[in-house]
Amino acid sequence: MSAQIGVTGLAVMGANLARNLARNGYTVALHNRSIEKTDTLLLKHGDDGEFIRTETLQELVDSLEKPRRVLIMVKAGKPVDSVIDQLAPLLEPGDIVIDGGNSHYEDTRRREAALSRQDLHFVGVGVSGGEEGALLGPSIMPGGSRESYDSLGPMLEKISAKYNGEPCCRWIGTDGAGHFVKMVHNGIEYADMQVIGEAFDLLRLGAGIEPADQAKIFTDWNSGTLSSFLIEITAEVLGHIDERTGRPFVDVVVDAAGQKGTGRWTVVSALELGSPTSGIAESVFARALSSQKEQRVLAQDILHGHEGSVDLPETFVEDVRLALYASKLVSYAQGIDMLTAAAKEYGWELKLDEIASLWRAGCIIRAELLDDIMKAYAEADTRPANLLLAPAFAEAIAGAVPAWRRVVATAVQLGIPVPVFSASLAYYDGLRRKRLPAALTQGLRDLFGAHTYNRVDTEGTFHTLWGEDKSEIEAVDTH
């Protein structure tokens, strides 16, 4: 018997993907650097389906049908290169090496280029849904060659999450496209979680609503336009009471948010692409500030702010809901705008409607909203230049704007930090302006650095002789 796919790296994600594949009828060859994980998996879940136990990468390769498919699920970074270096010499032209970890897309581009020189396919696959998603059906974002997808796609689609029966797995584009899209997914996830945190803070500090009552509010919100996995689990976490102390669980958890890097990568990449991803950036910085616990403890005695509460808690709750919805829309708009910029930069033909469609189930940012986002990008002739310009979303956000402004103004007055609510509102206000103060920036740049400028009334590039008679000359564009 030979296996249809091999999995090397059997920690939580690899083990669960291997089990998911076996449960879907595929024979899966198993390998892990240390044999214990392989044996534990076989002992606990060996009856999930057909598995082949292997101890070495050579045994793994020998156990596979051709062309071989090997899924690498080891820690992202150097371990992936190390496994590829050991694996590649054992493979034959046409075999497919798959990296299902959270690798940086630039690493994936580099690895794909290197392996294609050996006539091996390298497929960087973004997998979202955490441990449970990997087992029961994740959202899957595969990159690599179209040819490799013809061989691999049916397996991935079979094990993926389904939305109304449709698989949440589509070929994204060549080389690092799958990992890029997964990275932006995670960036949106950071912003999504931060706006939920800001809403929680506002409702508690501004309106005095305790976590247990907020759990009911979030449950209620989950049946409306905000309906999503993250809002659903927010209700669960806020309603949870700590066993040891009887206090709300959120009050016994240290308020320093961790990060594994994909949010930071998104922001670095946005800066490189010149994409205004301010909501996602503020959410990464918010986690960074949360982790500066020592400074924050010192600052409490030194830096003072205004304190108080809102006058009408009932209307404030609805205002916060609308501000959360609008800020969330901006995060999606910014993430999608970044995908558009990356597609141009890297020559990917990213299909935004398909990407939105495969985020509808299985992944962490799954939300009702994504079905509407998918529809907004479905027709080429009505595809919006920015998500916020799609008629349905322009109307929805217009309805939320008055409440959004009230919430941000109230937060500023009460001294409650709302970095993503406010950055998203600033983005919205900047986006809808025909003219921005950037004209002054250009004037300053021309004065101190002769950086030149363009005029609103005529073609060409100009420079003013600031140090002489301030006359204008036509300049050679130095950009």
Binding site, annotated residues: 9-14, 32-34, 74-76, 102, 128-130, 185-186, 190, 260, 287, 445, 451
Q: Which of 139, 141, 219, 128 is nearest to 173 (CA)?
A: 141
Is residue 29 within 8 A of residue 56, CB to CB? The reply is: no
Helix (H) or strand (E) holding 141: strand 139-142
Between 98 and 120, whose beta carbon lies closer to ligand NBP? 98
CB of 460: closest distance to ligand NBP in angstroms? 50
User: Annotated binding residues for NADP(+), as ranges?
Assistant: 9-14, 32-34, 74-76, 102
Question: Could you tell me which residues come within 8 angstroms of residue 229 by beta carbon, excluding any fewer than 6 positions away?
Answer: 364, 365, 366, 367
Stretch that binds ligand NBP, among 8-16, 157-165, 270-278, 398-406 (CB under 6 A): 8-16
Among 49, 67, 130, 384, binds ligand NBP (CB under 6 A): 130
The three-class DSSP label of residue 363 is: coil
Q: Which of 435, 364, 428 is nearest to 161 (CA)?
A: 364
Mode of pairing for the β-strands spanning 472-474 and 121-128? unpaired
Site for ligand NBP in 201-230 (CB under 6 A): none
CB of 216: closest distance to ligand NBP in angstroms? 29
Is residue 328 within 8 A of residue 369, CB to CB? The reply is: yes
CB of 134: closest distance to ligand NBP in angstroms? 7
Question: Could you tell me which residues come within 8 angstroms of residue 137 by beta carbon, excluding any fewer than 6 positions away?
Answer: 20, 129, 159, 160, 161, 162, 168, 361, 362
Please report whether residue 83 would count as binding ligand NBP according to CB under 6 A: yes
The CB-nearest residue to ligand NBP is: 101
Q: Which of 166, 225, 99 is nearest to 356 (CA)?
A: 166
Phi and psi, residue 443, nearest 5°: -60, -45
Between 103 and 214, whose beta carbon lies closer to ligand NBP? 103
Distances (CA, A) of 253 to 56, 235, 300: 42, 16, 19
CB of 189: closest distance to ligand NBP in angstroms? 11
Catalytic center residues: 182, 189
DSSP 347: T
Please report whether residue 127 would count as binding ligand NBP according to CB under 6 A: yes
Please report whether residue 73 would count as binding ligand NBP according to CB under 6 A: yes
Q: What is the contact mask toward ligand NBP in residues 34 to 63, using x (rule: CB under 6 A)? A: x--x--------------------------
Between 141 and 400, whose beta carbon lies closer to ligand NBP? 141
10 Å CB burial of residue 106 (0-12, 13-18, 19+) is middle
Among 3, 5, 7, 13, binds ligand NBP (CB under 6 A): 13
CB of 19: closest distance to ligand NBP in angstroms? 12
Please report whether residue 14 would count as binding ligand NBP according to CB under 6 A: yes
Among 40, 82, 292, 309, binds ligand NBP (CB under 6 A): 82
Please report whether residue 169 would count as binding ligand NBP according to CB under 6 A: no
Stretch that binds ligand NBP, among 77-85, 144-152, 393-401, 446-454 (CB under 6 A): 77-85
Is residue 58 within 8 A of residue 37, CB to CB? The reply is: no
Residues that bind ligand NBP (CB under 6 A): 9-14, 32-34, 37, 73-76, 79, 82-83, 101-102, 127, 130-131
